[in-house]
Structure 1
Amino acid sequence: MALAELDGFANGAVALGLGLLVGLERERHKGHGAERACAGLRTFAITALLGFVSNQIGVVLLAAVAVALTLLVTVAYLKSQSSDPGITSEIALLTTLLLGALCTSNAALAGALAVVMTALLTYRQPLHQFVRHQLSALEVRDGLILLTAALVILPLAPDRYIGPYGALNLRNLCALTVMLMAVGAIGHIAVRALGVRYGYAVSAVASGFASSAATIASLGAVAKRTPEHVRSLAAAALLSNLATFVQVGLILGAVDTELCIDFLAPLAAGAMATGCIAGWLARGREAADTREGVAVGGAFETSKAVMLTVLMGGVMLLGAVMQHLFGERGLLVAMLVGGFADAHAPTAAVASLVDAGQLTAQAMALPVLLALSSNTLSKCALAWGAGGRKFAGYIIPAQLLILLLMALAAWLQGTL
Structure 2
Amino acid sequence: MLMSSALPWLAALGAGLLIGIERERSQPQDAPAGLRSFVLAALSGAAAAAVGPLALALTLAAFAVLTLAGYLQTRSADPGLTTEFALILTVLLGALAQQSAGLAAGLAVLTAGILAAKALLHRLVRTVLSQQEMESGLLLFAAALVVLPLLPDQPIAWLAGLNLHTLWLLAVLVMGIQTLGHIGVRVLGARRGLALSGLAGGFVSSTATIASMAQRARATPSLRGSCLQAAFLSNLATAIELGALIGVIAPDLLPGLLPALGLYGFGSLLGVGLLLRRASPADAGEPLPASQRPFQPLQAIVFAAILAVVLLVAEAARGLFGGVGAVVATGMAGFADAHAASASAAQLAVNGAFTPEQALSAIGLAVSANAVSKSAAGFAGAQRAFGQSNLVMQVALIGLFWLGLWVSMLSGRWAFA
TM-score over 0.5 (shorter chain): yes
Report the residue type matching 1:338 in the other structure: A
Aligned twin of 2:4: 7
Alpha-carbon shift at residue 367 of structure 1 (Å): 1.0
Q: Which residue of 2 aligns with 1:394?
A: 389
Indicate if the aligned counterparts of 2:250 and 2:347 stay in contact, CA closer than 8 A.
Answer: no
Alpha-carbon separation, structure 1, partners of 2:158 and 2:61:
59
**Matched-pair contact (CA < 8 Å) for 2:218–2:381:** yes
The runs of at least 4 consecutive aligned structure 1 residues that moved more than 6 Å come to: none
**1:146 deviation in Å?**
2.3
**Number of residue pairs aligned between Structure 1 and Structure 2:** 409
Deviation at 1:81, TM superposition (A): 5.0
The RMSD of aligned alpha carbons is 2.1
Which of 340, 353, 356 is equivalent to 2:351?
Answer: 356
Contact 1:167–1:352 under 8 Å retained in 2:
no
What is the alpha-carbon distance in structure 2 between the residues aligned to residue 406 and residue 346 of structure 1? 16
Conserved? CA contact 2:45–2:92, under 8 Å: yes
The aligned counterpart of 2:184 is: 190
Shift in Å at residue 195 of structure 1?
4.5
Residues 1:26 and 2:20 are matched in the alignment: no
Distance in 2 separating the partners of 1:121 and 1:294: 29
User: Can you list the C-alpha shifts for 1:286-306, whole angstroms capped at 9, x where unaligned?
Assistant: 4523412476x9444333233
Amino acid at match of 2:16: G
Unpaired segments ≥5 residues, structure 2: none
Contact 1:194 1:203 in 2 (8 A): no
Give me the identity figure in percent: 37
d(CA) in 1 for partners of 2:230, 2:338 = 20
Whole-Å separation in 2 of the counterparts to 1:390 and 1:304: 30
Match of 2:214 in 1: 220
d(CA) in 2 for partners of 1:140 and 1:294?
15
1:292 aligns with 2:288: yes
Residues 37 and 203 of structure 1: CA distance in aligned 2, closer, same or farther (over 3 Å): farther
How far has the Cα of 1:74 moved from its partner?
Answer: 0.5
Residue 155 of structure 1 deviates from its aligned partner by 2.3
User: 2:69 matched to 1:86?
Assistant: no
After superposition, the C-alpha distances for 1:369-408 in whole angstroms (9 at most, x for unaligned) are: 1111111111111111126112223222112111101101
Matches within 5 A, 1:19-98: 19-32=16-29, 36-80=30-74, 82-98=76-92
1:204 Cα deviation (Å)? Answer: 2.0
Query: Quick check: 373-382 or 163-172, which moved more?
Result: 163-172
What does residue 411 of structure 1 align with? 406
SS in structure 1 at match of 2:204: coil
CA distance in 2, matches of 1:301, 1:414: 36
Which residue does the alignment assign to 1:370? 365
> For 1:325 and 1:191, how far apart are their aligned partners in 2?
47
What is the 5 A alignment of 1:4-403? Answer: 5-32=2-29, 36-80=30-74, 82-162=76-156, 166-283=160-277, 285-286=279-280, 287-293=283-289, 298-386=293-381, 388-403=383-398
Q: Would you say the 8 A contact 2:198–2:234 is kept in 1? A: yes
CA offsets, 1:61-106, max 9 Å, x none? 2221111111111011011055431100110111111111111121
